[in-house]
Chain A
Amino acid sequence: MSARYHRLHFNELNPYQQLGLRRFNFRLMARLIGMMLIYMAMSMTLPLAVSLYTHDGAQFALAFSAVIVLMLGLFLRNFAGRRAEYELKENESYWITLTVWLAIPFCGTLPYLFTGGLASFTDAVFESFSGFTTTGSSVVTHPEELPEGLLVYRALTQWVGGLGLLLFVVAMLRKLTNGAGRLYEAEFSGTLQRKLHPRLSRSVSRMWAIYLLITLVMIVALLLCRTPLADALCLAFSTVSTGGFVTHSDGVSILSGGGLAVVTLFMFLSGINVAILYRFFTLRWRHIGQDEELHTYLIIFFLSAFVSALCFHTVGDDWFHAIHYSLFHIASTMSTCGFYIPKPDNWSFLVSVMTFVLIIMGASAGSTGGGIKLKRIIILMKYVSNYFTRMMHPNAVFRVKVNGEPIDSDYINKIFAFVFLYIAFIVGGAFVLTLCGCSIPDAICMAAANISNLGPSPLINNLGGSLDYALLPALAKWTLTLLMLAGRLELFALIAILSPAYWRRG
């Protein structure tokens, strides 16, 4: 790339190159964002329909923002993005990923602003990013006061963001053969998963199909438990995408016992790799039985549920409630969904620390959940335990294998670096939060909960903090917003853009 440009005379270079900057495929970027916006406008018709049906007063605001988004999308797609080259270079994929992840949530603030549901622009940005990154941290203390259409819209943003915004484009844009894989990687960086189908677009379509199916099943299940339609829609969107927005200030406690069980089950499912769910539903169970990540997920899930049930039991809950609550809590934490049933008393410290660890570990790779991802944790643990053996036997050769496939050392190095960055981000974020007046444990928990896209957690409440993000100052909200985005894009896409090396030509 560089060699080609160096031969050109200075005057022949375009302005970016003259400044020593790289040339970007802006047209393709505009086209992608435009398409995303058009789809987004289309998706807004659902909340609009709910709004029209319930006459909640948000119809015009929603319709208006949908139209604006549509116009913007059409402009970008047909005008700014016309004659785009459908070719992506490695380093452009990061840029596009980040731009899409900035543009869409920013456009997504429109409904909040137009309905006047949120007080300030900062709040709207926070809420919108929290939605699209499936974090579920909310500045709305009493969601039931918002118009129902807006609630559905809010939950829908999570659902759209659940599988990743670009994954949608990849599925739709068959022409983008060259860069699709890179976009996919930039968004799901380094999860190294086996594709469902040799053709990326086909496997992505399958993922979306399974996602849609699970959502529909969940809506029906919730309706069967006599949940009102709007609540069922919202909660299903929040659960399946592991978001965590709720429709009522009492959270999911408004549900019946059966409804809670449904939510628990689907939280548990959404912490699992979508590819495995696909195989499960297409009855190819043989592969599933061998998947180490699934094993680990199950072991950790039931073990920690058991331990926390034990803890709750020892402080006076009867077994039924203790187990019920533990299952719900652990499923919510591991899938980084972030629903909670208020239970401020009798938390053992063991449960607190365990919760914190689970928050950081997060869900399976390839699921909608956040966190470091179990697959990485497995590889690291295997590597570290090998390392101890290697200290004793320096000349022995060890390979880390997951699912029988050897993992090469470059990849392990990347994971180590990822974990280092993750911790560095949490520490850095927590530092800014302490500047805003949070205590140290609160700051660390909040930073961890948001970078893992968990959102609210009873953990924060139990350490003396507040779940009410509304009370935080603007700086804290922006920091948390950045952390959510960083966590969702798995850090590297964000870091790459921020590094000077990226902007240098050639």
Chain B
Amino acid sequence: MLMVEGTLILSCLIPAIHFADGTVLPITLSGLFTFCVGLLLLVRYRRANRSADKRTSYLLVVTMWVVLPIFGALPFLATGVLHSFSDALFESISGITSTGATVFSAVEWLPSSILLWRSMAQWFGGFGIVLLVLALVPSMGINKYSLYTAEASGADNTGKQTTTMSSSIQQTLGIYLLLTTAFVLALWKSGMHVWDAVNITFTSISSGGFSIYNNSLERLTHGQQYITALAMLLSGINFAMLYNFFTLRWDRLHKKLDQLTFYLIIYLVAATFVTLALRFKMGYDWSNSLRCGIVQTISVLTTTGALAADTQQWWVPITFLFVVLSLCGGMAGATTGGLKAMRVLILVRNVRKILRDKLHPHAVNPVRLNHKPVSPDIITNVMVIFLVYAIVIFIGIMLLMLSGINATESIGAVIACITSYGPGLGLSGGFGCYADFTVPAKLICSFLMILGRLECLTVLIIFTPAFWRK
């Protein structure tokens, strides 16, 4: 089981080594150290049993998302840009979970290698989550991710997930690389420095949101912002759908449009509201309000967290809407966080189903998705995730308030972390940062990020007695 982990750590350092050539010694050191540990584990546990049972796979996933960030924190400490371990860990977890919450109040003074490492961590983490979802579907058992399999597997739903597994990983990787290259090129063509283009693409395609500028996207030209917005929009779409789209297999797409439509409708409605509110309540001119409406809304909906302006100054209803949107999130099987559009759609349709049940008690009223009835198991799964999500948010807010943060900021920070959005409300919102949070608060936020990224249940099950019982 540790083989997988070792391999992942191993690949985690490839970027570290790759860009560290000659720039900074500490980075090379931390890269090498990570590499060695990975190799050591790999060699040591070479003969480990390859098949993982359910308990092991849950443990594996959680360990992976705890161990990787710890190693990911090394470059920050080694280069001396961050002095406390909790800060480095926070930044690293925020990177690998592609949250984008930062402890740096200003990022422009950071060495470029560190900036690239932050972006790289997000890019890697963004792909990691999709991969995780794909790779562990069979061993996870009980429809944990059957939501994804329903949509994510590129093949027809004939139950051959195991055979199509490697091909779906390839597909996803292909799409991810293709999109990255395309957007780097596009941004480069639009007049941006290659290095900037790489960083910005990495963080937007993974719906991460780390920035290399203090004022995030506001620095870019309008055209470049729209390109970034497109990258974010695509990052919120299911990868299998993107694959089918790019390989021109549109016949497979048109039967599965429910979630996409829902996602786009939410986006359009919210973007319209934000644009109008900015125009008429905040006094922006049309071009600015349109730009901010389009770019910022998609950044929130896909839980990227890149900022087109200092949202902290915006009208309160807009910031509240952002909180709600980030809770909703993009589509399942994409790099975004949040509840995912599909779950929200199922929740809404389930309410409709219950109304129909009440009005027509003798009719059969299934919840339908893409014209197919959704099995009750999936519905309960969605409901449980929703409820656990809500409870975790409550507890998170309570803990943050206990650590001395006021109500607005706690709400903002908890939701920003659990949905992997990034910027919270108040101090941590807008162009602000999490630097002023106390150490316990940072640790709570870090934990929430992992919890949110792994969709709560996977992490929480480890804390249940049933998990450890034979």
Contact = CB atoms under 8 A, between A and B. Distances in A.
Interface of A: 90-91, 94, 349-350, 352-354, 357, 380, 383-385, 387-394, 409-410, 412-414, 416-417, 419-421, 423, 427, 430-431, 434-435, 437-441, 443-444, 463, 492, 495-496, 499, 501-502
B317 A434 contact: yes
Contacts of A492: 354-355, 358
B54 A392 contact: yes
Interface string B419-436: 000000100000000000
Contact of B355 (A350, A354, A357, A496): A496
A91 B360 CA distance: 8
Given A394-B141, A413-B354, A91 B359 contact: yes
A380 B380 CA distance: 11
Contact of B144 (A391, A416, A419, A496): A391
Nearest to A353: B398
B467 interface: yes
A443 B351 contact: no
A91 B467 CA distance: 45
A352 B425 CA distance: 19
Contacts of B457: 388, 391
Contact of B384 (A357, A387, A393, A409): A387
Contacts of A353: 394, 397-398, 401
A385 B391 CA distance: 13
Interface in B339-366: 347, 350-352, 354-359, 361
Central interface residue in A94, A385, A417, A419, by most chain B CB within 10 Å: A417
Interface string B129-161: 000000000000110100000000000000000
B41 interface: no
9 tightest Cβ-Cβ pairs between the two chains A and B: A416-B383, A349-B401, A441-B407, A394-B142, A353-B398, A389-B466, A434-B317, A388-B464, A91-B359
Interface of chain B, helix or strand or loop or mixed? helix
Given A392-B55, A392-B466, A423-B390, 15 more contacts: A94-B358, A349-B401, A349-B402, A349-B407, A388-B460, A413-B383, A427-B324, A430-B320, A431-B317, A434-B320, A440-B316, A463-B407, A495-B355, A499-B352, A501-B355
Interface of B: 54-55, 141-142, 144, 316-317, 319-321, 323-324, 347, 350-352, 354-359, 361, 376, 379-380, 383-384, 386-388, 390, 394, 397-398, 401-402, 407-408, 411, 425, 457, 460-461, 464, 466-467
Nearest to A506: B360
A90 B358 contact: yes
Contact of A440 (B319, B356, B380, B398): B319
A498 to B, nearest CB: 9
Interface of chain A, helix or strand or loop or mixed? helix
Contacts of A91: 358-359
Contacts of B390: 419, 423
A412 B466 CA distance: 22
A41 to B, nearest CB: 33
B380 A388 contact: no
Contacts of B356: 501
Contact of B461 (A354, A392, A419, A427): A392
A257 to B, nearest CB: 32
A357 B394 contact: yes
B467 to A, nearest CB: 6
